[in-house]
Amino acid sequence: MSAEATNPEAHPEARPELRRRGRSRLDLRRLGRAALLGPTSRDRLPDAIGHVAEAHRAHHPDADMSILRRAYLLAESSHRGQMRKSGEPYITHPLAVTLILAELGAETTTLTASLLHDTVEDTDVTLDQVRAEFGDEVRFIVDGVTKVEKIDYGAAAEPETFRKMLVATGNDVRVMSIKLADRLHNMRTLGVMRPEKQARIAKVTRDVLIPLAERLGVQALKTELEDLVFAILHPEEYESTRALIAAHAGESDPLPGIADSVRTVLREAGIAAEVQVRPRHFVSVHRISRTRGELRGSDFGRILILVGENADCYAVLGELHTCFTPVVSEFKDFIATPKFNLYQSLHTAVATPEGHVAEVIVRTRQMHRVAEAGVVALGNPYATATPDATAHPDEERADPTRPGWLSRLLDWQQSAPDPDTFWTVLRAELAQDREITVFRADGGTLGLPAGASCIDAAYAQHGEAAHGCIGARVNGRLTSLSSPLSDGDTVQLLLAQDTSSGPAAEWLDHARTPAARIAISSWLDAHPDRAMATTTAARAPLSVVGARGGGANAVTDLPDATVRLAGCCTPVPPDAVAGFLVRGGAVTVHRVQCAAVAQMRAVGRTSVAVHWRATADCRVTLLAESFGRPHLLADLTEAIAREGVEVVSATVEPPVEGRVRHTYTLQLPDAAGLSALMRAMRDVPGVYDVSRA
């Protein structure tokens, strides 16, 4: 992971966190000279990592610094003589990366691995040496951030390196924490590189690293990476935004006055709170300038309120909405419904009597730590786990911090052996910036990207078995597989019993997750004939007419009367029936439960006694509702024939939203076989309901 050359002056205004901390920026050249000279004493931390130790003790006062000392000595001696492209000693890079993580609150194991993260890649240090000196966890993390050999992978080295890191991150999120800090320092020091190489690195940062920082909740790294990428890829817009911020700096800012008013309100309410004004970073200012047009003074920052407990957040919200005019459309509760990247806060906006509108964020101090540092703030994910002495360090470990999106990514990457496919799909997957949770019928949950359909849910739950999915019930109602899902929906997926069933080509139009798209595409590639057969073109109603059977087997006492079985309820033996005399001297026969019986009586139709003949044969009309697929009519007709039933006529209506209705008039040799016939028709793949007309 060879870092890029340092340029300390590159885009200093794009690093607002340096202004916020009030700490002078580290002189990496001074640290480099100290590193070359080596430690002056073997019984204390080398001066070169004094800043790291200070930042680490601020978060972990009881941390064992001797481990960091040993890691630094190994890193410094291993990298000794190596220089960055700017001429600085190489050790300045792992020191800077470790300092970034220390200030975020990373625990000792992460910092140890960070100091060593380039040793295996760029020096003679081996993973076995790292394990012997620092243990399995440090060895695992260092291996996770070590690049694959370009000589072995060629042009595929970059995507395969990211694949390796993501798989390792699935077992330990600290791997990606180090990668993000590594990329941040490289982006800070990218100024001496050729413009085309700066642009290439910035694009990968934009497409992959920034979305990963967002998903892991590391906002402190994400916002600075956004500003650095913005400066490289959009220099003109960056300069205009910088000028806009500089012009605002010379104007009167209403936010400090609003913050003072908020402090007074909360103090009088007896709520202990810390109120800060947080300037927006460059990209944030650019975004709101494009949506709001001309910016007002209060648009350049937000008010942050930190409290002790969750209940205090809502108490603060109540006081704000009581003492100021709330902007209702701006209220969001991310405490009750956290974002998928661990983020929790209350967002609101209030208007002052002077007409200023200020955006306000309310959170606890713990929420603030997680909002800034994300997974880094969670520390060691295995600290409370029971160690398994028999587990091999290379085996997959159950990480309690693994988010759902990462589990999905790890699943689909196994089906994308081609590096180009992996790289393309990875960028598309990371572009999905919102996630929903849907409930399975068995009580489990599925995490899916916003906009996912029932097709995505099918492949997320059933894998390749979803090829035979024929429909779904969402919140208890039948729906087509293309239907999009919303957060909180309950989805029941209906699978065909025929294991040879496969997806239709149009499923790709509605699949949003890489797992679904890769699985569907692979099946269609393996079954080109079946893929060509699938079509959603509208068809005219199709009628199939067979030989008509004998007359109805319902009889009446009226001589020479024509007996007709009503089409509205299609009575068959041994249904209880009622007959009515209609025009032309005919008698219509209805089931007694049919709604038409009451209507006949209401209009004064003459009731006629009707009974069934001794013969058991009968005629019945059935409705079959199904999801459209090739050969469905043939399969249904075959199922009917296997029951020994004669098809008098069949009508297939054009599909509507992927669903098709079939109407069959059938001659049964024995009315007692009607239930078995309906079961056989329901068992046909794609059919979800069969009923009498």
Q: Which residues are catalytic?
A: 121-122
Give the closest residue to 7 by CA, choosing from 114, 119, 86. Answer: 86
DSSP type of residue 217? T
Q: Is 263 exposed, middle or buried (0-12, 13-18, 19+ CB in 10 A)?
A: middle
Task: Please state, as a whole number, how many other Cβ atoms lie within 10 Å of the Cβ of residue 226.
Answer: 22
What is residue 382's three-state secondary structure?
A: coil
What is residue 492's three-state secondary structure?
A: strand
Give the closest residue to 469 by CA, choosing from 494, 440, 506. Answer: 494
Residues 6+ apart with CB under 8 A from 122: 1, 2, 79, 82, 90
- For the stretch 473-479, contacts whose Cβ atoms lie closer than 8 Å and that sit 24 or more positions apart, written own/partner, are 473/441, 478/688, 479/454
DSSP letters of 31-97? Answer: HHHHHHH--S-TTS--GGGHHHHHHHHHH-TT--HHHHHHHHHHHHHHHTT-B-TTS-BTTHHHHHH
Residue type (1 letter), 412: W
Alpha-carbon span 362 to 642, nearest angstrom = 68
Across-strand partners of 564?
588
DSSP type of residue 618? E
Task: Note whether 303 and 359 are within 8 A (CB).
Answer: yes
Alpha-carbon span 297 to 358, nearest angstrom = 10
Alpha-carbon span 345 to 367, nearest angstrom = 7
Provide φ and ψ at 174, rounded to 5°. -65, -20
Task: Note whether 669 and 645 are within 8 A (CB).
Answer: yes
* Token representation of residue 302: 């937000």
Give the closest residue to 505 by CA, choosing from 467, 453, 457. Answer: 467
Alpha-carbon span 469 to 472, nearest angstrom = 8
Alpha-carbon span 649 to 651, nearest angstrom = 7
Task: Please state, as a whole number, how many other Cβ atoms lie within 10 Å of the Cβ of residue 593.
Answer: 11
End-to-end C-alpha distance for the chain, whole angstroms: 70
Output the 3-class SS for 109-168. HHHHHHHCCCHHHHCCCCHHHHHHHHCHHHHHHHHHHCCCCHHHHHHHHHHHHHHHHHHH
Helix H or strand E encompassing 556: strand 554-556
Residue type (1 letter), 206: R
Place of tokens 């797992």: 515
DSSP letters of 405-437? Answer: HHHHHHHHHTT--SHHHHHHHHHHHHT---EEE
